[in-house]
Structure 1
Amino acid sequence: MDRRLLAAIAHFPDRGHAIEELARWDEEFLLLCADLPEAEAALARWERSDTPVREERCAEYRELVRDLAGEIEATLDRNA
């Protein structure tokens, strides 16, 4: 399994097969899935940060993670 898909599958475990199948032929979808773990990792780093902008950055990355997951779900729905 492509490691870039693991975060998407973690968000949508009942759609793991569909995620893998769509990623095989849709490069844009694959890249969208690959962006999700990067955003989650950045969020985790900001959550451990003690800088004054921590809360602002955490909110931004939480929103990015939600948006990416939403885009992944919408793409799956369109291709179901």
Structure 2
Amino acid sequence: MEELLKEILVELRKNSEKENAGDKLTYTLKECSYISGIGLNTLQEEISKQNSDFPFFKIGKKVMVDKKLFHQWLENISMVHQELRK
């Protein structure tokens, strides 16, 4: 029973994080990974690229991502991949 309650608590926290992320103007890389399903390492590689079009900025060492631009970026890479498959 205690294990079940712990699992429920974990799921509730995940849902709470997802709901709170919806109200923000920016995301962390971890939030971007959670929302998109793209691995954190993959996103870190993306920001390390010389000519990356990933919509991030840094405040000190912290990497932040513009919410609207992130969703546009996801749409754009989806479109590019669709075109490449044709």
Larger radius of gyration: 2
| Greater percentage in helix | 1
Higher RCO (C-alpha 8 Å, min separation 6): 1
Q: What is the TM-score with the length of structure 1 in the denominator?
A: 0.35
Instruction: Looking at secondary structure, tell me which structure has more strand per residue.
Output: 2
Q: Structure 2-normalised TM-score?
A: 0.33
